[in-house]
Structure 1
Amino acid sequence: MPLREGDPESIGEYAIESRIGTGGMGVVYLGRSASGRAVAVKVVHTQYADDRDFRARFRQEVAAARRVSGAFTAPVVDADPEAELPWMATAYVDGDTLAQRVTASGPLRWPQLRRLGVELAEALREIHRAEVVHRDLKPSNVLLLDTGSAGGGADGAVRVIDFGISRAAHSDVRTQTGLVMGSPPFMAPEQFSSPRDVGPPVDVFSLGALLVYAATGRSPFEAENAYLAAYQTVHNDPELGRIPGLLRPLVLSCLAKSPQDRPTPDAVREALAALPEELPGTEPDSAPSAVDLPTATLTTSAEDSAGNGSATLPPGTTSGPTSDPTSGTITPDTPVAQQAPATPRRLGRARSIKVAVSVVAVLAAAAVGVGVTSTSGGDEAAHEDARPGAPDGWRPWHTDLTAADGKGKAKGELPASMMPDMPNCTPSALGVYCSSEKRALFRLDPLTGRTDWTKPMHRTARVGGFTVTDPKVVGDRVLALSDDGSEGIDAFDATSGRKVWRFKGPQAEFSFLSGVIVVHVGKLGPSNTAAYAALDPRTGRELWRRTLTTDSPAPLYAGRDGTLVADLRQTRTGERTVARLDTRTGRTLGRVTAPKGDLWLATVHDGSAYYARWENDSGASSRIFIQDLTSGAVRSVDFPWAVEPEAPPLVRGDVMYVFDYANEMVLALDLKRGKALWTTSRELRVFSEPSVRGTTLYATTPDSSIVAINTRTGRERWRTKPAVAADGGKSGTVDERSPSPVAPLSVGGVLYAVTDSGPFSAAARRS
């Protein structure tokens, strides 16, 4: 990539020639020494340079990388962690990442796949011998040398890079309390449940996931976003797809839920080396017969190198893909599942607030039954006077919806430090509406936070929490999934709770867009074509139905002047169409051709589509592309650094507000002039999606306060008193809480918000 204005001409003794990539924590440049040696120079972003904890982690990264040697890692050649902008230089590896190779050429054939596994296992052996745990082994951190490079070849030789979140076994430098670091869906279960205490087996788990990805183009825990990927990693069996049959037992042992049940890197290497270099038969994916398969003896991580207690894996007997839904395989001509496009990317960064809320609710509801306790949220909050404009009878309240009905932590419950154990709630002017695994819908009184009425979920409908979704408030109606397990939609009067209509299921999801209820008809399944219907929100009458073919799991967006925008792009066919549809008829009104590249359609606003470009599968985005949906004209604006948006940006006029999840700050971008207006202070710790009303931006903070920010300057105007006591409640301490995908809602003189400690209300002040 070319250099940009402001990039350095040199770093240390190295002349900078170009950019290699950008991540959430820094920029990587191609540099050259005075002797002509090429190096990759990683430079920390400016905003981290004054962060004492980050500098400590960077020093740890340098030390860890220097400790590791071997043929399959990129050695450190120079570093200065004490520089104004800390940097580290490693030997430059000329090649593609595994993610780039699979995206460009598809899954690896057997010889390349076997070699990848052998070399990765050897790399992990060297890393672990140096008493270092990588902790972030993923496709973008595995380089394959280009043809002709030393040690390379058509299938590439492996180099493991980026020890950015690694930890030496004896190091006292730990990640921030409650902070999960890594890249779902390639992380091990214990990285979510106990992120500060992980050991070498997490890298073996990631190795197993990488082998599945290299063989199929998908992680074994692929999901629409990071929350669901984490849930599936902890609770579900892996999806192995069309992985060669003889490799399945080894991969399953690497993906064992318990660290003690996984093999050591040495055992993995020996098992792979014992497998044939070529598969019998003409089909590249076919497995050999049972008599051709060697028996692999694996030493688990809990055993010593002498093989004490080693377990013998039975030879695989699978002769090819089957249609058994429990087998983890799919038939050869089955299209890619709609909910997980084949293009590798961090899907957790690529969907709407609606999806994020739904998945968080699934995690919370699947873990525990939801009980309700209304509390004052602390003495100070309880005694805060109602501000002018607040309705009569209102006082600040906080309602705890995380109780487990007095039975303690439910079996398999995800710990609070892993991710939000928050209620599935939607605040509105008419009340706060919530759904849970036990209650299809219930209303919290906006004055008191107490439960006003409830619609219980029929016991036959409780299937692992997946009947839960976030309620939709549309005028005087509130919509939720049917309470009988039919996966239909029920509409209720928002005040009385009286049912007014039902749309029969099954349906995968629904949303309110441009005045209609848009329903994905049918269950999510292995197809990139799906039917969508539009319903009248008052009557439930179906207005139209269309079948759309697209890679997007949720392709419809609210457009301007009674229109919907349909993202019809397909990677496989090269289709780049984005269409405008009439909301009441579904008829196509016009089409444009989307910009080229691996772009996420982040949001649609006022007749324009906004596409974000990912940086090398990192989950970070450095540029936004803006397209007029009538003329098709495209322009672009660079972010001042590579941001990590957890949900779609908020556009108001010519300003875009982006919640940078990695840095816990809001960035305001002037889209007209292409410049950053301001960012919130890092000390502020913005902890939710923002909302804007007039010249004030609202966001929650980790202590369950709501902060008001001047949209012209980015400076704090005021904040509410914490809704939850500082020592925590059931969701843990302040630092163990998780960012909320629900933006605060301003209604008159009252603000409503939702965190993993429950929904709450607070008094708004005069700005």
Structure 2
Amino acid sequence: MPPLREDDPRSVGGYRLESRIGAGGMGVVYLGRSVSGRVVAVKVVHTRYADNAEFRARFRQEIAAARRVSGAFTAPVVDADPDAERPWMATTFVPGRTLAERVAESGPLDWPALRRLGTELAEALREIHRAEVVHRDLKPSNVLLEGEGDDGVVRVIDFGISRAASSDVRTQTGMVMGSPPFMAPEQFSRPREVGPAVDVFSLGAVLVYAATGRSPFEAENAYLAAYNTVHSEPELGELPEPLRPLVSHCLAKEPADRPTSGEVLDALAGLPEALTDGGPGEEPSRLPVTVLTGAPAPQSTKAGQTGQGPRRKRRWITLAAVAFIAVTGTASAALLGIAPASTVDEVDRADPQAAPRGSAPPGWKPWHKTLEPDEDDPIPIGPACTPDALGVFCSSPQIALMRMSPATGHVDWSKPMSKKEVNSFSGGEPVVHDGVVYVNSADRSEGVDAFDGRTGERLWHLDGPVGEFAYLSGVLLVRLDPLGPSDTARYAAYEPRTGEELWRRELAAASPSPFYEGPEGTLYADLRGGSGGIARLDARTGRTLGDVTAPKGDLWLATVHDGTAYYARWENDTGVSAAFFIQDLGSGKTRRIDFPWSVEPEAPPLVHGDTMYIFDYGNETLLALDLKRGKPLWTSSRELRVFSEPAIHDGRLYVNMPDTSILALDPRTGKEIGRTTPSFDTAGRSFEELTPSSMPPLLVGGVLYGVSEPGIFSVADVSD
């Protein structure tokens, strides 16, 4: 066993700790010894969770569940203190190895060992369920084989996410508790409704693993394994024939179609103790017919929860995400949609592999600037910055706009903000397009100023207050009315460089930001909640060209790309989604994509070709979905912790990391291509203290620009 680490406690609750047994998501398990010499396993909750009321309640629940089911096939609780500074629980120490270790070291089990394993696991589950407890995380690493060889007693351990029928602790919406690929489908789609049937499903998956060395829903990562569990039939591999009918029914998609743990035990008891050779014409052993009577064949079910609660006001209502377009390596433009309507249309539409890589600006060296003033730059950079080929443009309560050199990070020029007193700074990131920068006006009237990005000359001004503004389809769109609860609002379009008003209209729409970029000089307007659906407008005249009826339900129009609308379905009032609806805005036809579990997008997804990339803020992962097949391609691991919206440049997918490095991924596989060195020292700051960035990395001429909570930085692109 691994020795104790320097920061590990030496004793807990009167038990002397001697070594580490293992560590999990909730805590660390130690080998401990009582004063009398009794050996125990002591589980201690991680320090970071000790002050979390939910985790403390969950740990109390684990202790109660473990005490209720202590028996021949579990590790009895010896002592516990859920109210300690670091809650802990001591159980009888069971020497042995887990089923996962056994299979990894010695390969799949033979028939006698497999039959015994199944019988003892089924008996353990029967006793657990009789105590009105659902384990919910039965997997090979939670199955302990006591003693040597395959003849030892089976013990079911770790009731960390178990739940008693009378428990008051409920799974949060969007929180997936368990371990793909041994979880049941309903643990992804209906986590609050799980019952004993989930353990039976896991038992079936564990038996397949024990017999073949693989889960029946094996995949490259947890997300794909979850998708396979919900949508695909199990791969049983070389599972012995006598077990196949029983295991198939344990793995039924619908809980009602699975046998109970007691029925599984009866069926296993009726199997032969030894397999026949199965010669020509010889029938293999079959299950008793009574076990299968009335159980229909397993049917696939779709994930996703209903819920038509009111639209949740998301963070992007006031801080819209920015998407970038890389243009032939020498110029770029930042496109900011009126939040939440910022789009990722036309991102890298040309062949990404053919795009030239360009070169760094003359005299460029890696640089970084903190958001706070320092000795070199007494002017505070401020919280809102947009990188561009011309430089990095920032605004703050003190500075209306400044440009930092892309080569050095030094301030080239700045425009002061009026000294007029206001309650707060309401400006967002500067909008940059074709050399013009649009920001909240320097007179603090909450209007719009347009500056020449090269010289800093103000080109035109629009009096405020206005709601929001964005460059879309060749015009600057401005909401003329302040943001706030209203069924209607006035919008106007302006010539980007001169400020000439092109048109204005009053629209009836539920969305505070209804516009999206369309093809060939058109706009899409989300008029749901008013008198229409999704309308197509001429961007230069504002004239309506046509419309389609939007799908019904509590849907957020997340983005529009290449004439296709992508809607996320909110689950109640949670801001998480388990399904996307995809609508052709020409024909109005709609189809649906379901996710195995709920994701929490905080900004519009990135659509590139036939793939959608979604940054899940809740789990800090990046999901890639095949839009043609309606299936996931890959997901980043939760241990990786993606920390920004993604961007595609030169055939690579780029994201920020918590340590302020930039990660490059293969868009087709999610495999890491490389990463830059961190630009800031984040030592001593936990991930929880940092905030993911809404600004994706920008690649210009072989140089990457990133915006993170510590500041702004410029680094060389990841080498091949």
The bucket for the TM-score relative to the shorter chain is 0.5 to 0.7
Which residue does 2:73 correspond to in 1? none
1:430 equivalent to 2:390? Answer: yes
1:80 equivalent to 2:135? Answer: yes
CA distance in 2 between counterparts of 1:499 and 1:674 reads 47
Matches within 5 A, 1:161-560: 344-348=310-314, 354=320, 389-403=359-373, 423-460=383-420, 462-466=422-426, 468-560=427-519
Change (3 A) 1:355 1:396: closer
Contact 1:351/1:602 (<8 A) preserved: no
CA distance in 2 between counterparts of 1:569 and 1:474 reads 29
Matches within 5 A, 1:33-72: 52-53=25-26, 60-64=56-60
CA distance in 2 between counterparts of 1:517 and 1:480 reads 12
Contact 1:461/1:484 (<8 A) preserved: no
Change (3 A) 1:54 1:81: farther
CA distance in 1 between counterparts of 2:624 and 2:599 reads 12
Matches within 5 A, 1:140-179: none
Change (3 A) 1:345 1:524: closer
Which residue does 1:760 correspond to in 2? 713
1:595 equivalent to 2:559? Answer: no
1:738 equivalent to 2:697? Answer: no
Identity of aligned residues (%): 50
Which residue does 2:598 correspond to in 1? 642
Contact 1:350/1:600 (<8 A) preserved: no
Contact 2:569/2:578 (<8 A) preserved: yes
CA distance in 2 between counterparts of 1:135 and 1:577 reads 36
Contact 2:563/2:584 (<8 A) preserved: yes
Cα displacement (A) at 1:634? 0.5
Cα displacement (A) at 1:355? 6.0
Change (3 A) 1:54 1:521: farther
Cα displacement (A) at 1:605? 0.3
Change (3 A) 1:569 1:749: same
Change (3 A) 1:736 1:135: farther
1:561 equivalent to 2:503? Answer: no
CA distance in 1 between counterparts of 2:535 and 2:478 reads 18
CA distance in 2 between counterparts of 1:550 and 1:708 reads 39
Cα displacement (A) at 1:469? 2.1
Cα displacement (A) at 1:710? 0.6
Which residue does 2:562 correspond to in 1? 606
CA distance in 1 between counterparts of 2:133 and 2:361 reads 64
In structure 1, the gaps of 5 or more residues are 1-49, 69-75, 94-126, 141-160, 163-341, 358-386, 411-420
Q: 1:237-283 CA deviation, whole Å, 9 max, x = no partner?
A: xxxxxxxxxxxxxxxxxxxxxxxxxxxxxxxxxxxxxxxxxxxxxxx
CA distance in 1 between counterparts of 2:710 and 2:661 reads 12
Query: 1:669 is aligned with what amino acid?
Result: L
Cα displacement (A) at 1:393? 0.3
Contact 2:605/2:612 (<8 A) preserved: yes
Q: 1:214-242 CA deviation, whole Å, 9 max, x = no partner?
A: xxxxxxxxxxxxxxxxxxxxxxxxxxxxx
Query: 2:495 is aligned with what amino acid?
Result: D
CA distance in 2 between counterparts of 1:764 and 1:459 reads 40
Cα displacement (A) at 1:640? 3.3
1:687 equivalent to 2:647? Answer: no
What secondary structure sits across from 1:517 in the alignment? strand
What secondary structure sits across from 1:354 in the alignment? coil
Which residue does 2:670 correspond to in 1? 714
Cα displacement (A) at 1:350? 6.8
What secondary structure sits across from 2:442 in the alignment? coil
Q: 1:633-682 CA deviation, whole Å, 9 max, x = no partner?
A: 10111123211111110000100000011111111100001111111222
1:678 equivalent to 2:641? Answer: no
What secondary structure sits across from 1:479 in the alignment? strand
Change (3 A) 1:350 1:445: closer
Contact 2:624/2:632 (<8 A) preserved: yes
Change (3 A) 1:722 1:63: closer
Cα displacement (A) at 1:727? 2.4
Change (3 A) 1:430 1:64: same
CA distance in 1 between counterparts of 2:574 and 2:615 reads 17
In structure 2, the gaps of 5 or more residues are 1-22, 29-44, 65-130, 143-159, 176-190, 193-307, 324-356
Cα displacement (A) at 1:683? 2.6
What secondary structure sits across from 1:52 in the alignment? coil
TM-score of the pair, normalised by structure 1: 0.51
CA distance in 1 between counterparts of 2:382 and 2:642 reads 17
Contact 2:565/2:583 (<8 A) preserved: yes
Q: 1:424-457 CA deviation, whole Å, 9 max, x = no partner?
A: 0011111100110111111111111111111111
Change (3 A) 1:435 1:89: same
Cα displacement (A) at 1:619? 2.2
CA distance in 2 between counterparts of 1:465 and 1:81 reads 48
CA distance in 1 between counterparts of 2:358 and 2:485 reads 54
Change (3 A) 1:541 1:627: same
Note the aligned Cα RMSD (angstroms): 3.7
Q: 1:62-110 CA deviation, whole Å, 9 max, x = no partner?
A: 4456899xxxxxxx952326523975446599xxxxxxxxxxxxxxxxx
CA distance in 2 between counterparts of 1:61 and 1:576 reads 48
Change (3 A) 1:59 1:733: closer
CA distance in 2 between counterparts of 1:591 and 1:54 reads 55
CA distance in 2 between counterparts of 1:66 and 1:631 reads 53
Contact 1:550/1:567 (<8 A) preserved: yes
Contact 2:310/2:572 (<8 A) preserved: no
Contact 1:353/1:648 (<8 A) preserved: no
CA distance in 2 between counterparts of 1:700 and 1:626 reads 28
Change (3 A) 1:515 1:388: closer
CA distance in 2 between counterparts of 1:83 and 1:748 reads 51
Contact 2:439/2:449 (<8 A) preserved: yes
Query: 1:755 is aligned with what amino acid?
Result: S
Q: 1:188-235 CA deviation, whole Å, 9 max, x = no partner?
A: xxxxxxxxxxxxxxxxxxxxxxxxxxxxxxxxxxxxxxxxxxxxxxxx
1:751 equivalent to 2:711? Answer: no
Matches within 5 A, 1:123-134: none
Query: 2:406 is aligned with what amino acid?
Result: P
Which residue does 1:214 correspond to in 2? none
Contact 1:726/1:734 (<8 A) preserved: no
Contact 1:437/1:462 (<8 A) preserved: no
Q: 1:682-702 CA deviation, whole Å, 9 max, x = no partner?
A: 232110000012321000000
Contact 1:507/1:522 (<8 A) preserved: yes
